[in-house]
Structure formats: C-alpha cells, structure tokens
Chains A and B, each alone.
Chain A
Amino acid sequence: MNSLMIAAILLVLLGLAYQVGWSRSRALATSGGGRFHSRFHYHGALVAIWAVAPAALILGLWALFGQTVSASYVQSLLPVELVSAGGNPLATAISRVRALASGYGVAGEVADYEAAAADALARFQLIVTLIVVGSAAACGILALLFARRRITPRLRARNQVERAITLLLVACSAIAILTTVGIVASLVSEAIRFFTFVNPLDFFFGTVWNPVFSSTGGGSGRYGLLPLLWGTTMIAIIAMLVALPIGLMTAIYLNQYAPRGVRAVVKPIVEILAGIPTIVYGFFALTTVGPFLSGFGAMIGLDIRGTSALTAGLVMGIMIIPFISSLSDDILSQVPTSLRDGSYGLGATQSETIRRVLLPAALPGIVGAFLLAVSRAIGETMIVVLAAGNSPVLRANPLEPTSTVTVSIVNQLTGDTDFTGPQSLVAFALGLTLFVITLCLNVVALYIVRRFREQYD
C-alpha cells in the first residue's frame, strides 16, 4: 500500500462524494422539494468535504505518528540490554530492523533477534496499514452517507463551503508558521548545545576565528564571531555603496524620465539580473571581476587581491541593483501624481520636483527597501564563498581576502559533521546570529514600509 494508491483512493472518494451530493440535491429539487438555498454544486462540494476530511485526518495522524509507533514497537522486540543502553547503538539497531523489514539488505551480519524483529515488524506494519486505510475509508463512507442525509432545500451549503475554505486557508498558513517556529526552535536548541562547549562571551566578542577540526586533532579551536561579522558588514557596505545609488537612479529614470517604450524594454532587462542564480554571480566574480580588479590595482599601484571583500562586495552590489530598483520604482509609483502635478503647477522643473517632493515623500519607503536589501546582502552565500577569499582574519582593508558568517557556516558543515562537537554545532550559533540580525532588519524595514503605505491610502 503505497502513498500513490492512498492518494488515488482519496481522489475517488472525493469525486464520488461530490457526485452523490450533486445528484441527491438535484433529485430532491426536481421531485419538488422546494427552492434550494444553495446551488447543486455547493451541495456536492459540501458532501465531498465531509467525506474526505475525516479520512484525511486519520491518514494525516498516521503520517505524523506512524514512525514513532513503529519505533516503540521495534524497541519492545529488541533485547532489554540494548534498549536500556539507549543512544546511538539503539538508533542503529532500529534502522537496521526497519531496513530488513522493508526488504533492503543491511551491511554486516544479521543477528537472530534482528531477523525476528524484522519479521514481526513487517507483519505489524501490514496490519496497521490495513487498519488505518480501512478505518479511513469507513469513516469517509460513513461521513458521506451522513452528509447526504443532511441535504435539504434549507441547508446553507454555500455558506458552509465558504467556512470550510476559510479553515483550509488557515490550516495552510498555520503550516508555514509552524515550520518557521520549528526551524527557529531547532536553531536555538542546537545553538544552546554549542554554548555548553564555548562560552557565549568568547563567541560574541572573540576576535579570533580558528575552529580546529577534531580529525586534525589538538584542542577545540577558537570561535570568535567578530572577524566573520566584520567581513559580512564590510561586504554588505560595499554592496550597498554600489547598489543603492545605481538602483535608486535606475528607478528614478524608469519611473519619471523613461518614455513608455524605453521603460517596457529596460525594466525587464534590469529584472533579469535578479533572475541570475547567485552561483553564476559567484563565478563571474571569481573569473572575471577578481582578475580585472587585481590587474587594475596593479596598474594604479594598489595591491588588490583577486578574491577580496571588494570583489565580493562589487558583484553582490550588482546582484542587488534590481532588488533596490524595482522596490523603489514601486514606491515612487505610490507617491500620488497629484503631488507631482502640484509641484509642476508651481513651476518646478522635473529634477526639482523629484528632489524636493518625490524623494522626500518616498523616503521612508526607500529606507525600507534599503534595509530589506541589506538583509539580503548579509544572508548571501554563494558569491562570498567563491569570491571573498575565505580568510577569517579581523582586518579593515577591503582589498584583502576576508570571510563572512555565511561562508563559515558552509565550511563548518561540509566534511566532518558529527554534530556532537563545537566544530559543527557552531554553525547553528552562527545561523542563529544571522537570523536574528536579518529578522531585526526585516521587521524595521517592514514597519517603515507599512507606515509609508498608510500615509497615502
């Protein structure tokens, strides 16, 4: 019984129930049951909802808790010493039994108790599946019959379908929210584990980043956040220095100066920049911009390294231009034309109008866009991985290689990851820090943007 078949059964149930509700209400109406409150397809939809909802609920609970149930069943079959010992060996044993039960082979010798447990588990799973699917189907049919009997001319099927739709929408948003909460919770709990290894003060205020991998032996390394945070900040500043003026002026040109034809061509082209995958920007930085910059530096007597904060920042700035320009364009369009006309009507020129009326009126929104762009720059990974040089040392010169929070997360999580030592757990602390920073930026930005919107409603 695989999930495809279950989905097929649900679909059949759905179609059947709809058909039943539809034809039942129609039959009632033609046999002179009086004027129907709702049209037939609403009755069909209502019966369908009644039939599918309990079945889906049962299947959903099974999907959520089936694993836990089968795990505890397997535990009851395993030797007592193994269960009471707990930890990794137990988890390994359970997954070995599962693999055996589903017919996949396992590495190494299969112990007797494992084979026995696997047999029992296979039988257990078959029975449980049959029970679950059977009860789901039975509930569905029962609910279908019940809903069919409810059909009367007075039944407000239309309103009830409306309520069911609202519920569905609420459930979907709940999933999104719960996922967020789950992610944050796992970040926090892993970060707390990290802080049992490293003092939070050493982490947040440390100036040396040198995580020694356990495999290479020797101590547990030093985890100072500041060099990474500084690298992130420096690159973000360079990126914003590039993106803000160019993006804003592009927006002003497109919004105020460009004739319709030019706008229709330029705007999509600028937005193509936003569609380029960041990894592509990354090797653009690595293979084109970096060498160009170092060649240019050599020409004017500056020692610019190929991979440096400057390279990464420049390319990231280019990546962010469309972000700033399309947000600012929207915001400029929201400034009412009546303000523009008022200024022209007083004899102001176009640039006077833009400087003295349009930009001040749009400023809060543009600040919001700016902050959103900064949080984008801070969270950006691929470009810095390739182009920043991965040198987590605290230094101010943007022409030298540097490293960022995101790059370090990538480094700590590739390769040796057992999630028991600080070497990989530090990634969660870094992720949490990054998350908190971008969250704050986004909240402030959204607040500003919203205030600005209200002003012109």
Chain B
Amino acid sequence: MNQVLTSRSALEMSATHSKDALASHQTVRTPDPDAHPSRLRADGVSVFYGDKQALFDVSIDIPEKSVSALIGPSGCGKSTFLRCINRMNDTIEGCKVTGDITLDGQNLYDGNLDVVELRARIGMVFQKPNPFPKSIFENVAYGPKIHGLARNKTDLEEIVVTSLQKAGLFEEVKDRLHSPGTGLSGGQQQRLCIARAMAVGPEVILMDEPCSALDPIATAIIEELIDELRSNYTIVIVTHSMQQAARVSQKTAFFHLGKLIEEGPTEAIFTNPREKRTQDYITGRIG
C-alpha cells in the first residue's frame, strides 16, 4: 500500500515540476513493507513566510502507531513542517501554507474544519518545556476543561491521574499535585507537558526537539516514554540527534533547505542512505 501511495505522490510531484522550476527536486523514497498504514498524509505542502518560501512541495505519509523522525540541518524547515500538521502556523502572521495535509482523508486545510478541534486531535510538545504558571493538576486539567471532557470532578481527577501516569510522572508528583508546575525540574516539566497533551486524548502527538533542553538522563526517560506511547499514538518527532532518531523512530525523513530529500525506514536511512546529501548529513559533513 505504501508503495502505491509513494508512486502516486511522485507522479503528482513530477506534474507540478513542469510548472514550477523552483521545486525541481525529487524526494528519494524507500518503501517499508512492514510499516503501519498511514492515516496522516502530506501532499505537496509548501510554506511561505511573507515572500520567503520555507518549505518546497513536501509530500510524505506518516504511518500510524509508530514514531516518525524529521531530521536535517538547522533552518531546513522541520519545525515549519511540524507546525503545518496541527495548523500552529495559523498563529504566525504572514505565514501561508499551500498543498494538502489529510487526516483520515479529511483535508486539514479545508475552510470548514474546526482548528480548535483539530488541535485537540493532534497534540504538540514544544522544544522548551512550557508549563502554564498554574499547579501541576491545573496544567493537565487545562485541556479537558476547555474541551468539556470531564463531566464532574471525579472524572477530571481520573483524566489527570491517567495522563500523568501515561507520561510516567505520577509517582514523582502525586504528593504535590497542587504545587506549581513551573517548580518541577526541566525533565519533569517536559513530561508534564506530554501529560498535558495526552489529557485531551489526541491521536497524533507532534514533538519539536522535546529533549533539546534536557540532560542525558531526563532525555533517556523521555525516549523510553516515547517508545511506550508508540503503541497507542502516532508520533512525529523533530530531533537534532542522529542517535535519538535511530533509537526511537521507525521512519525517518531528511530535510534540507526546505526540501524533503529522502524518507524511508529509519534503518535504511541510517545504514544505507541513497542520497548523497543524506549521507553527508548523517556522517556529519553538512549541518
């Protein structure tokens, strides 16, 4: 199935190429016969910040219940692409997105789509832990409260506790649920943010360099957590660490200068990259 999709997007891309010389590039795709089916797809996505184009015609399928890693040198558009998936780019003035991103066949850039509801389905964890200046409990309860997910107090408490447990934070904070979330350590704060994202019951979780502000131990804990979450969630993670991408992801996509250069199973990308630029980046020659 994956192969069919790949050739389909490749076909469409070659059609756009003839019109747009700027986007004359071809993503190298290595199909993965074992991959989970994809419910989330990007098709010919380009992003402009004002007049400046930051992403060129990116097409990729994100398999469900697995981790996909986006790698590439700084400024290549990884975060930009990630933000397209839950339409966080809407909050940036002057940012324009063209192309399609679909979740279960529904176009996310359809004018009728409720962005607010979409963001509840596609959660996001940011580079720097950003707990609200509220208590740990209130941080996690924030999403369920605004979406009306809990019918009463007990419900809410249950959601909060389950989410904290899923994020592997509950044991550490169960005695101080009502102390401020900003008082936790960096690694704990990041897990709090993960718990907060999970409390609204998303299907997809986007993570933008979730470990870049953390020390190796906190990083290892988060990576372990990501690996556990994989069985229930579709996860897309941006990372600057090759090792991290190799450890946690099943699929890897390499971006360079706003273009998706190569994508495929993580193993194939890291052991046998087919594009020279991919190889150069992985071996540390560009970046």
- Contacting pair A341 B133 (CB below 8 A): no
- Contacting pair B133 A361 (CB below 8 A): yes
19 A-B pairs besides A343-B132, A345-B86, A347-B117 with CB distance below 8 A are A336-B130, A341-B124, A341-B130, A342-B131, A342-B132, A343-B142, A345-B197, A346-B123, A346-B197, A347-B118, A347-B143, A348-B116, A348-B143, A348-B146, A349-B116, A352-B146, A356-B142, A361-B132, A361-B133
Query: Distance (Å) between the CB of B12 and the closest chain A CB?
Result: 30
Residues of A326-351 at the interface with B, using a CB-CB cut-off of 8 Å, are 336, 338-349
- Contacting pair A259 B134 (CB below 8 A): no
- Contacting pair B119 A345 (CB below 8 A): yes
Proximity string of chain B (133-152) to chain A, C-beta cutoff 8 Å, 1 when within and 0 when not: 11000000011001100000
Give the secondary structure class of A's interface. helix
Contact pick for A347, options B93, B130, B131, B146, CB 8 Å:
B146
Nearest residue, chain A, Cβ from B143: A346
Query: Distance (Å) between the CB of A81 and the closest chain B CB?
Result: 76
Contact pick for B123, options A338, A339, A345, CB 8 Å:
A345
Cβ contacts A to B, 10 pairs, < 8 Å: A336-B130, A339-B130, A341-B88, A341-B126, A344-B88, A344-B119, A347-B119, A347-B146, A347-B200, A348-B142
Interface residue tally for chain B (C-beta within 8 Å): 26
Complex-state Cα separation, A352 to B119, whole angstroms: 14
Q: Tell me whether B211 is interfacial, beta carbon within 8 Å.
A: no
- Contacting pair A347 B132 (CB below 8 A): no
Residues of B82-133 at the interface with A, using a CB-CB cut-off of 8 Å, are 86, 88, 91, 93, 116-120, 123-124, 126, 128, 130-133
Q: Tell me whether A245 is interfacial, beta carbon within 8 Å.
A: no
Query: Distance (Å) between the CB of A368 and the closest chain B CB?
Result: 16
Q: Tell me whether B65 is interfacial, beta carbon within 8 Å.
A: no
Residues of A107-159 at the interface with B, using a CB-CB cut-off of 8 Å, are none
Query: Distance (Å) between the CB of B84 and the closest chain A CB?
Result: 13
A-chain residues with CB within 8 Å of residue B41 when the two chains form the complex: none
- Contacting pair A360 B119 (CB below 8 A): no
Q: Tell me whether A56 is interfacial, beta carbon within 8 Å.
A: no
Q: Which 8 A-B pairs have the closest CB atoms?
A: A347-B120, A345-B124, A347-B119, A338-B130, A346-B143, A342-B130, A347-B116, A348-B146
Q: Tell me whether A455 is interfacial, beta carbon within 8 Å.
A: yes
List residues of chain A with CB under 8 Å of any chain B CB: 259-260, 336, 338-349, 352, 356-357, 360-361, 455
Nearest residue, chain B, Cβ from A338: B130
B-chain residues with CB within 8 Å of residue A338 when the two chains form the complex: 126, 128, 130
Q: Tell me whether B260 is interfacial, beta carbon within 8 Å.
A: no
Q: Tell me whether B237 is interfacial, beta carbon within 8 Å.
A: no
Complex-state Cα separation, A354 to B134, whole angstroms: 14
A-chain residues with CB within 8 Å of residue B193 when the two chains form the complex: 342
Complex-state Cα separation, A346 to B143, whole angstroms: 6
Contact pick for A259, options B86, B93, B116, B130, CB 8 Å:
B93
Complex-state Cα separation, A360 to B181, whole angstroms: 14
Complex-state Cα separation, A346 to B116, whole angstroms: 8
Q: Tell me whether B251 is interfacial, beta carbon within 8 Å.
A: no
B-chain residues with CB within 8 Å of residue A346 when the two chains form the complex: 119-120, 123, 142-143, 146, 196-197, 200
Complex-state Cα separation, A348 to B146, whole angstroms: 7
Nearest residue, chain B, Cβ from A260: B93
A-chain residues with CB within 8 Å of residue B93 when the two chains form the complex: 259-260
- Contacting pair B133 A360 (CB below 8 A): yes
Nearest residue, chain A, Cβ from B128: A338
